[in-house]
Amino acid sequence: MSRSDVSEVSEMPETMSGATTQMQVGISPVRKFANIGMSIIILLATILVVTPLIAIFGYLFAEGIGAIKLIELPANNIRHTLTAGSLLLALTIMVSILSGIALGQTLNAKSLPKFKLISNIIGGAPAIVLGISLFAFLGLTNNFNGFGTLFGIAALVTPVLFNVSERIASNPEVLDNMSASLKIPKWATGLLVALPLLLAAGFLIRQGLALDYLNLDFFVKSPAPEGEAGGGLANAITGSFIMLTLASIIGVVVGISGGIFLAEYPRHPLMPIVRFLSDVLAGIPAIVMGLVAYGILVSSRGFSGYAGALALGFLMIPIVVRTTEEVLKLVPVTVREAGLGLGLPQWIVTLRIVLPAAASGIVTGIMLALARVAGEAAPLIFTAFGSNIVNLNPSQPMSALPLEIYRGATSAYDENQRMAKAGALLLISMIFVASLLARKFSNRK
Amino acid sequence: MSDASKKPANSMMSSGSDRIFEYIILALASIIVLIFFVSLYELGKESWPTLQKIGFNFFVTRDWNPVENEYGAISMIIGTIVTSLAALALSVPLAIASALFIAEYAPKWLADPIGYLVELLAAVPSVVYGLWALFVIAPVLNKWQTTFFDAENYPDRFQLFLDCSKLWAENQTSFQCFFVPSSASGRGLALAIIILTVMILPYTASVARDVIKLVPQDQREAMYALGATKWEVISRAILPYARAGIMGGVILALGRALGETLAVAMVIGDSQDTIKSIWASASTMASVIANQFGDAQEELHRSSVVTLGFVLFFISVIVNMLARFVIQRLTPKGIKL
CB < 8 Å to A263, chain B: none
**Residue B306 pLDDT greater than 90, yes or no:** yes
Question: Hey, of A406, A430, A432, A437, which one would you mutate to test binding to chain B, going by the most B CBs within 10 A of its CB?
Answer: A406
Q: B60 touching A, CB under 8 A?
A: no
User: Which residues of B, range 195-224, sit inside 8 Å of A by Cβ?
Assistant: 198, 201, 205, 223
- Statement: residue A385 has pLDDT above 80: yes
Residue A342 in 3-state DSSP?
A: coil
E-state strands within B179-306: none
Determine whether the interchain pair A371/B123 forms a contact, defined as Cβ–Cβ distance below 8 Å. Answer: yes
Q: Between chains, do A405 and B127 touch, taking CB under 8 Å as contact?
A: yes
Give B66's pLDDT tier (boundaries 50, 70, 90). Answer: confident
Q: What would the pLDDT profile of B81-134 be if each residue is shown by its tens digit? A: 999 999 999 999 999 999 998 898 888 777 877 887 788 888 888 998 998 888
How far is the C-alpha of A344 from the C-alpha of A342, rounded, in Å?
6
β partners of residue A385 = A398
Q: What is the pLDDT of residue B167?
A: 84
Contact across the interface for A19 and B286, Cβ inside 8 Å: no
CB–CB contact A254 B31 (8 Å): yes
- CA distances for A437 relative to A20, A251, A338, A367, A390, angstroms: 53, 19, 32, 8, 29
Contacts A–B by Cβ distance under 8 A: 296
Q: Does A280 touch chain B (CB under 8 A)?
A: yes
Dihedral sign for Cα atoms in the order B129, B135, B139, B140: negative
**Under an 8 A CB cutoff, do B123 and A35 touch?**
no
Whether A50 has its CB under 8 Å from any CB of chain B: the answer is yes
Q: With CA atoms as reference, report the closest residue to A162 among A107, A111, A113.
A: A107
**Which tens digits make up the pLDDT trace of A26-81?**
678 888 888 888 888 888 888 888 778 777 776 776 665 555 544 344 444 444 55
Residue B41 binned pLDDT confidence (cut-offs 50, 70, 90): very high
Write the burial class of residue B23 (CB in 10 Å: 0-12 exposed, 13-18 middle, 19+ buried): exposed
Spacing of C-alpha A237 from chain mean position:
18
Q: Report CB contact under 8 Å: B232, A31.
A: yes
| Tens of pLDDT, residues A347-363 | 889 988 999 888 888 88
Contact across the interface for B228 and A405, Cβ inside 8 Å: no
Residue numbers in A near B34 (CB within 8 A): none
Class of residue B259 by CB neighbours under 10 A (exposed 0-12, middle 13-18, buried 19+): buried
Residue A374: list chain B partners with CB under 8 A.
Answer: 125
Q: Burial, B193: exposed, middle or buried (Cβ in 10 Å; 0-12, 13-18, 19+)?
A: buried
Q: Could B25 and A265 be called an inter-chain contact, meaning their C-beta atoms sit closer than 8 Å?
A: yes
Report the alpha-carbon distance of residue A430 to residue A437 in Å, rounded: 11
Q: Which residues pair with B71 in a beta bridge?
A: B64
Q: What percent of chain B has pLDDT over 70?
A: 94
What confidence score (pLDDT) does residue A103 get? 60
CB A386 within 8 A of CB B90: no
Question: Which of A199-203, A240-244, A286-290, B157-161 has the weakest average pLDDT?
Answer: A199-203
pTM above 0.80, yes or no: no
* DSSP 3-state of A339: helix
Which residue of chain A comes nearest to B263, CA vs CA? A406
Q: % helix / strand / coil in chain B, to the nearest 5? A: 75, 0, 20
Q: DSSP for A222-283, please give it.
A: PBPSTT-S-B--HHHHHHHHHHHHHHHHHHHHHHHHHHHHHHH-TT-TTHHHHHHHHHHHHH
- Whether the per-residue pLDDT at B334 is higher than 60: the answer is no
Q: Is the per-residue pLDDT at A120 higher than 60?
A: no
φ, ψ of residue B333 to 5 degrees: the values are -65, 140
pLDDT grade for A199, boundaries at 50, 70 and 90: low
Query: In this predicted structure, what is the pLDDT of residue B148?
Result: 87
Do residues B98 and B205 make contact, with C-beta atoms less than 8 angstroms apart?
yes
CA torsion through residues B190, B175, B166, B68, sign: negative
| Helix, strand, coil fractions of chain A, as percent rounded to 5 | 80, 0, 20
Q: What is the DSSP secondary structure assignment for residue B153, as one 8-state letter?
A: T
A398 strand-pairing partners: A385
Spatial distance between the Cα atoms of B206 and B217, rounded to a whole number of angstroms: 20
Tell me what pLDDT residue B114 has: 80
Q: Is B17 on the interface with A (CB under 8 A)?
A: yes
Q: Do B125 and A378 touch (CB under 8 A)?
A: no
- The whole-angstrom distance between B313's CA and the closest CA on chain A is 6
pLDDT band (50, 70, 90) for residue A443 = low
- The per-residue pLDDT for range A152-195, each reduced to its tens digit, is 555 555 555 565 556 555 555 544 454 444 555 444 544 454 45
How far from B52 is each of A124, B193, B303, CA to CA, in Å?
A: 57, 34, 10
Q: Per the CB < 8 Å rule, is A53 touching B124? A: yes
